[in-house]
Every structure is written in structure tokens, then in C-alpha cells.
Amino acid sequence: MLTLPTKDNRLEAYALTGTPLEPRAPRVPLTRTAFAAAHVVSDPIAERNPWDTRPAVDWDATLAFRQGLWDQGLGLAEAMDTAQRGMGVDWLTARELIERTMAAAKTHPMKPRVACGAGTDHVALDALRDADAIIAAYETQMAAIEAAGGQLILMASRAFPAIGAGAETYARVYGRLLDQAAEPVILHWLGDMFDPALTGYWGSTDVAEASDAVLRIIEANPAKVDGIKISLLDQAHEEAFRARLPDGVRLYTGDDFNYADLIAGDGTHYSHALLGIFAAIAPAAAQALEALAMGDMDTYHRLFAPTVPLSREIFRAPTRFYKAGIAFLSWLNGTQSHFIMPAGFQSSRDIVHYAEVFRLADRAGLLSKPELAEERMRILLALHGIE
């Protein structure tokens, strides 16, 4: 029995009630492509002055976490915002992460799909003052990812809004990058709730105008676009947008609020997945997708339904702090030995939030080692003066 704080500033007794889902490989091929965007595990002993130096990464724990996702049939979105790109993890660390991950993926029996984020974050914003500079920055990271064998995700770059780029600048830059990519890439539309520096992406703060701009880019290069990941937390927009995509171009939902309905689809169109929450709910996600592939919609919704309130809590505003909830559940489940994040990011959420994540994860069957989870939750509570 634990004593947990509540959102109305009370303390209440809580006993674990959930039955943990057992992680396992899928029994049938999945009918949706599903990338889990994974976090990195810090090495707290080696960490020094994290705001001013490269973060210290526990490579063994970081790669073991990815192995666990692959074992369950999930793909991996590597070195994305879930891995704290631009929020504690720099490009040099991200490049090493990509290279280590790709080497591990090539030897994994599931032969998992791995897509990797290419951006411009190795160059200071004040040096990215025009389209040519942005293109050159992307090219550097694209070359490193292709050399490692990863699929490209063209991450949204803060450089475009910083120079007030219009739709024509986006078209020029993305057209050039798509033209030279060796294989079809995934585009990336991350809303300002995830990163305020991306406000006005695709050249407009009007979502309809921005949608038209990126659709023109896709329509001009359909053979070079595998799909687009959209993280706007707007189900109606995603449904309307995916209906406009050219045949063969996928919509990868990044909507951590409405993924269950979007992946299931409306009978005509459906979304694939590229989600940070899948790293936290992997057993439920993998088994729900298996049920979907088997035509068992009752099981699909039964497994996903309790994960949605959990995801909404982890991704609540300020949404960009969601990474803390991902790492917290990793610690509770024993896939890392500590709750320390690059740049001290674990401090971005409060104890009431962590208590609610604990409750909701339990109810969703996502505390894989209940006794360990309770022991570690008790430690965190004690650090906050709750005995």
C-alpha cells in the first residue's frame, strides 16, 4: 500500500490492482507500420555539468531498451525529440546513438525497421540564415544516417521559423533534400505544443495553409516520400489530411491523444504510427496491433482504452515535457536503474504528475514488475517528503 498525492492536494492510500501484460513477439504479421520513438538512458555517474557538455549515455541500457521494443515486433524511430534532441542531446551524441542502434538492428532476428531523425541542430541557429545553409546542414546529418543504414526522417527544423521562411523556402529546401535522398523518407510535422520554436511551420500559423504547403511538396515528390508524421494532437485535421495524400504515401500518426481511433481508421483511411507513447506502452501497443491484424477489434480497443488516459497525462501541457514520463516508466519497470535524464529533465514534472502516471500505468497493466515499481515509487515519494 502506498500513499500517493492527488491533484486536489490530498494524500490517499493506493494499492496496485493491475495485471501486468507479458511482453512477447507478435503471432501474425502486423497490418500497420508502428515506430516507437525511444528515449536515451543517462549514465548518472559519468554525467558532468549536463547543460554545457555532451550528455553521458548508458549505452548498454539504452540499446537494451530498443531490443525490448524490437522483440515485440515494433519498429524504432531513433534520435527524435523523445530522445531529447535539442533538449539535452546534441547531434554528436545522436549520431553515435544512430550508429550503435543500426549496428544492433542488423543483428536482431526480427530485422526491425529503424528510421532516424535528420535535422540541423549541429549548426547554431544564427548561422542558418538562408535556404542554402539549411540544406547544407540537413545534408550532413542525412549522409551520416544513410551511411549507417537508417531510413531518413526529415525532422522539423527550428531554422525555418527563425528566419520567417515562407512556403516557397520550404518547397525549395525539401525538394532538394528529397531529390537526393537514396530511399523514400518520412517527413515530420511537429506542432508548437511539442516545441514552441516550430510555430508557423510550413510557412504559416494557419493550419489549413500549412497543410496545403506541405501537400504540395509531397505531391511534387510522391516517389520520394514514404509518409509524413503529424503531431498536432488534432484528430479531425489528421483524418482530413490523410484523405488528401497521394496513393502510397502514409500518414504516421504522432497524436499521443487519439492514436487508438486514428490507427483503427474510419473504414476508408487509417494511420500508421510513429509515437513516443509506444515506448512506454509497448506491450499494450504491440498486442493491440496484433489483435487489429487478426480482425479482433474488441481486444484491440480493450488493450488500448486504458492507455489513452495514461498517454494524455504523460503528454499533458506543457507537452514538451512528456519525455520525463517515458523515462519514469522505464525506471519503474526496471529497464534502467535510476531516474536521471539528460540535462536533469526529470525535474520538468512534479510528484503529483508522477503519482498519476503510476496509477494509470497500473490500471493499464503496464507495470511489468509490480513489486519493483512500488519500491521505486516509494523512494520517489520519500524524496518529496511523503512517507
**For 24-342, which CATH class?**
alpha beta
Q: What is the pLDDT of residue 77?
A: 98
Written as nine digits, the cell of 84 is 531529447
DSSP 80: S
Q: Which of 242, 188, 189, 248 is nearest to 224 (CA)?
A: 248
Q: What is the pLDDT of residue 47?
A: 79
| Cβ atoms of 46 and 57 closer than 8 Å | no
Q: What is the pLDDT of residue 50?
A: 62
Q: What is the pLDDT of residue 261?
A: 98
Q: What is the pLDDT of residue 307?
A: 98
Give the Cα separation of 63 and 270 in Å (integer).
31
Give the Cα separation of 366 and 361 in Å (integer).
5
Q: Which of 236, 240, 214 is nearest to 227 (CA)?
A: 214
Task: Give the type of residue at 222.
Answer: P
Give the Cα separation of 337 and 243 in Å (integer).
44
Instruction: Report, in this order, helix, strand and coil percent for the chain, each rounded to 5.
Output: 50, 15, 40
Give SS3 for 85. strand
Q: What is the pLDDT of residue 359?
A: 98
Q: Which of 364, 276, 278, 374 is nearest to 332 (CA)?
A: 374
For the chain, the structural domain boundaries read 24-342
Give SS3 for 186. strand
pLDDT in tens, 220-252: 999 999 999 999 999 999 999 999 999 999 999
Written as nine digits, the cell of 138 is 540537413
Give the Cα separation of 211 and 193 in Å (integer).
17
- Sign of the CA dihedral running 180, 183, 184, 186: negative
- Sign of the CA dihedral running 17, 277, 4, 342: positive
Written as nine digits, the cell of 156 is 522539423
Counted residue by residue, the chain has a size of 387
pLDDT in tens, 280-321: 999 999 999 999 999 999 999 999 999 999 999 999 999 999
Written as nine digits, the cell of 80 is 527524435
Query: How do the pLDDT tens digits run along the chain, 387 residues long?
Result: 999 999 999 999 999 999 999 999 999 999 999 999 999 999 999 877 766 668 999 999 999 999 999 999 999 999 999 999 989 999 999 999 999 999 999 999 999 999 999 999 999 999 999 999 999 999 999 999 999 999 999 999 999 999 999 999 999 999 999 999 999 999 999 999 999 999 999 999 999 999 999 999 999 999 999 999 999 999 999 999 999 999 999 999 999 999 999 999 999 999 999 999 999 999 999 999 999 999 999 999 999 999 999 999 999 999 999 999 999 999 999 999 999 999 999 999 999 999 999 999 999 999 999 999 999 999 999 999 998
E strands within the chain?
2-5, 11-14, 34-37, 75-78, 114-118, 151-154, 185-190, 225-231, 250-253, 272-275
